[in-house]
A and B are shown apart, each in its own frame.
Chain A
Amino acid sequence: MSIDEHPPDMMQKAYRAIDERFRIGALVEYMDGKKVPKHRHSAFYYLGGMTLFLFLMQVATGILLLMYYRPGADSAYESVRFIVSEVTFGWLIRSLHSWSANLMVMLAFLHMFTVFFTRAYRKPRELTWYTGIGILALSMTFGFSGYLLPWNELAFFATRVGTGMAGAVPVIGDYLLIIMRGGEEVTGATIGRFFGLHVAILPAAFTSLLALHLIFVQRQGMSEPLGWANKKPDEKRYIKFFPEFALRDALVWLVLLNVLVLLAVIFPDGIGVVHWPLGEKADPFGAPPAVIRPEWYFMFAFQALKMIPAHVLLIEGELFGMALFGIGGLIWVLVPYLDRKSPEGKQSIWIISFGVLVVLFMVVMTIIGYMVE
C-alpha cells in the first residue's frame, strides 16, 4: 500500500511533513514488522500491558488526590476524610486509587511468575528481567509509603512494624530507621518523608525503569516458548503486533477498566483482606488494634517473621528471617544468570523446583497468615 497511489490526503501530508523532518520511516517500518508468537500461553503476553494500564490509572487518580491531600500529623487524616466525605466523587477517586494499586501489584506478581515459569528471562532478555524486578520492588515501596498517608490507626502501626524491620538490619539499621521515620518514632515527620517518596521520588524512579523495560520489550519483541528453539520455521505461528495484538491489548485494557470501576463502585472500602476503611485517626499513644495485618502482598513475609522463634542459631529471629528472605530473593533476581540451560532451549529441573518452592511458600504463608488471629 504505497502512499503515492492516490492524491495525498491530510494524514499522508502530515506524515510526509514529519518524515521529511525527523526521518521516522525506518521506525514505522520496524513497528510494522513486529510480530507476537501465537501458542497456548499467548495470554501471558497481556499481563505486562495490564500492569502498565493500572500504573497509568494510579498516576491519573494520584494526581487528582493530590488536589486535596495535605500531609502532616494534624491534616493528613482530616484531608482524606474530607476527600471521601465532602468532595464530589472523592470516595470514587480514592477507591479507584486503592483498587488499582492492589490489582497492579497482583498483576505485576502474575506477570513475574509467568515470565519465570516460561523462562522468558533467559538470554537475551536478562536486563528486561532485572528492570522488571526493580519495577516490582518500587511498586511495593509505593504501596508501603502510600499506606501511611491517611494517618489512620492501621497505617500507623503497619508503618511502625515495617520501619522497625529496617531498624533490625545490622550496622546501618539505626540510621535507616531514623532516615525512614524522620526521627526515632513514627510521627508527622514520617508522613512528610513518605509523602515526598510517594509523589516525587518513586514516580521519577519508576518512570525511568519503566521506560527502559518498555524499550527493551519493543526492541527485542516477545519471548518465544522454550520448545520453539527446536521447531522448524513453518511450525511457528505469529500474529502481527500492529494492529492485531495492539487491538487485543486495547480490548483487554477496556475490560480491565470496567472491572476496576465496578469494584471501586460496589466496594469503595475494599472487601475481605483487600480493605482500606479510613477508621480512626492514628494515636501514637494508643495500643494497636487486636488484629493487625499488613497489606496482602506483605503477608507471607509478615507471617514467616511471626513464626520464627526469638533466637535461631544464636542470632535474633528477625535477623535470621531477613537473611533467609535476602538469600531467596537474591537467587530469584539472579535467575537469568543461574539458569544456564534455558538459553539452549533445555529445561532445568532445579530452576522449576525453586520456582515452585517459592510460590508454595508464599501461598501457604499467606493462607496461614489470614487463618490465625
Chain B
Amino acid sequence: MTKSGVSRRGFLTWLTRGGILAWLASVFYPVIRFIMPPESGEANVSQVKLPFTRADIEADAKKAKTFKFGRLLGIIVATETGELKAMAATCTHLDCTVQHRPDLGIIWCSCHNGRYDLDGKNISGPPPRPLEPFVVEEVGADIFVHKEMA
C-alpha cells in the first residue's frame, strides 16, 4: 500500500471527484452545444448578381445600395467618375453598417465616425482594418459582384 504512495481512501476520493466532474461535464456539454446555433444554411457564396441596376444606384440619394453577399452585407457605390465600387458594408471597428458620403467622397461609419476611401481602405477614425473590396462586373444591365481572387 505505502509503496505506491496512494492510499485506498485517496484513490476513492479522486475517483469520486473525477466522477462528479465527468457528470457535470455530461450535464453542461449539451447545454453549451444547445446555445451555439447550428451553422447557417446559406453557404459562403463567391459571386452574386445584384437585384438592381446601375440606374437604381445612381438614382439613390446617397448613390449607393446595400446587398446581401452570402452571409455578408455588401455596399455598392457609384463614384463621381461613374465607376461602380463594391465592398463589404460591415465596419471593421464594431460591426455597424457603413454608408456612402458622396459629399465627402468617402465611405463613412456613423456609429464612431470611421472613414474609408472608396477602395475600402481605412483612412481615419477607429477602424483597424480596411473593408474587404469586391470586384464589380457589368454584363449588359446586370451587375455581378465577386470576391477578389487570392
- List residues of A whose CB falls within 8 A of some B CB: 157, 160-161, 163-165, 167-168, 175, 178-179, 182-185, 189, 284-292, 302, 305-306, 308-311, 316-318
| CB contact under 8 A between A157 and B128, given known A178-B37, A184-B71, A306-B113 | no
Instruction: List A contacts of B96 (CB < 8 A).
Output: 157, 160-161, 164, 288, 292
A310 CB contact (under 8 Å) in B37, B67, B68, B128: B128
Interface of B is mostly: loop
Q: Is the CB of A291 within 8 A of B66?
A: no
Instruction: List B contacts of A182 (CB < 8 A).
Output: 37
Stretch from B6-14, B20-28, B119-127, B138-146 that touches the partner: B119-127
* CB closest residue in chain B, given A175: B36
| CB contact under 8 A between A288 and B95, given known A184-B71, A310-B126 | no
Q: How far is the CB of B29 from chain A (nearest CB, A)?
A: 15
Sample of 13 more A-B contacts, CB < 8 Å, known A184-B71, A288-B99, A318-B94: A157-B96, A157-B111, A160-B97, A165-B94, A179-B36, A183-B40, A184-B40, A305-B112, A306-B113, A308-B126, A310-B122, A317-B126, A318-B126
* CB closest residue in chain A, given B124: A310
Q: Is the CB of B112 within 8 A of A306?
A: yes
Q: Is the CB of A318 within 8 A of B93?
A: yes
Size bracket, chain B contacts: 20 to 34
Instruction: Output the residue of B40, B66, B112, B127 with the most chain A CB within 10 A.
Output: B112
| CB contact under 8 A between A287 and B128, given known A157-B111, A178-B36, A179-B36 | no
Cα–Cα, bound, A318→B109 (Å): 15
Q: How far is the CB of A313 from chain B (nearest CB, A)?
A: 13
B88 within 8 A of partner (CB): no
List 13 contacting pairs A-B, 8 Å CB cutoff, sorted by A.
Answer: A160-B96, A161-B95, A164-B96, A178-B37, A185-B73, A189-B37, A286-B66, A286-B97, A288-B97, A288-B99, A291-B110, A305-B94, A318-B94
Q: How far is the CB of B132 from chain A (nearest CB, A)?
A: 15
B95 CB contact (under 8 Å) in A164, A189, A317: A164
B126 CB contact (under 8 Å) in A157, A163, A167, A309: A309
Instruction: List B contacts of A183 (CB < 8 A).
Output: 37, 40
B125 CB contact (under 8 Å) in A164, A285, A310: A310
| CB contact under 8 A between A311 and B128, given known A288-B99, A318-B93 | yes
Instruction: List B contacts of A290 (CB < 8 A).
Output: 110
Q: How far is the CB of A256 from chain B (nearest CB, A)?
A: 35
Cα–Cα, bound, A329→B110 (Å): 28
Instruction: List B contacts of A317 (CB < 8 A).
Output: 126, 128
Q: How far is the CB of B25 from chain A (nearest CB, A)?
A: 18
B35 within 8 A of partner (CB): yes
Instruction: List A contacts of B97 (CB < 8 A).
Output: 157, 160, 286-288
B131 within 8 A of partner (CB): no
B98 within 8 A of partner (CB): yes
Cα–Cα, bound, A161→B95 (Å): 6
Q: Is the CB of B40 within 8 A of A292?
A: no
Q: How far is the CB of A325 from chain B (nearest CB, A)?
A: 14
Q: How far is the CB of A280 from chain B (nearest CB, A)?
A: 14
Q: How far is the CB of A287 from chain B (nearest CB, A)?
A: 4
Q: Is the CB of A292 within 8 A of B35?
A: no
Cα–Cα, bound, A175→B62 (Å): 35
Chain B 75-96, CB-CB to A under 8 Å as 1, else 0, gives 0000000000000000001111
Q: Is the CB of A310 within 8 A of B99?
A: no
Cα–Cα, bound, A311→B127 (Å): 9
Q: How far is the CB of B41 from chain A (nearest CB, A)?
A: 11
Instruction: List B contacts of A164 (CB < 8 A).
Output: 93-96
Q: How far is the CB of A303 from chain B (nearest CB, A)?
A: 9
Q: Is the CB of B126 within 8 A of A306?
A: yes
* CB closest residue in chain A, given B62: A287
Instruction: List A contacts of B110 (CB < 8 A).
Output: 287-292
Q: Is the CB of A285 within 8 A of B73?
A: yes
Cα–Cα, bound, A285→B73 (Å): 7
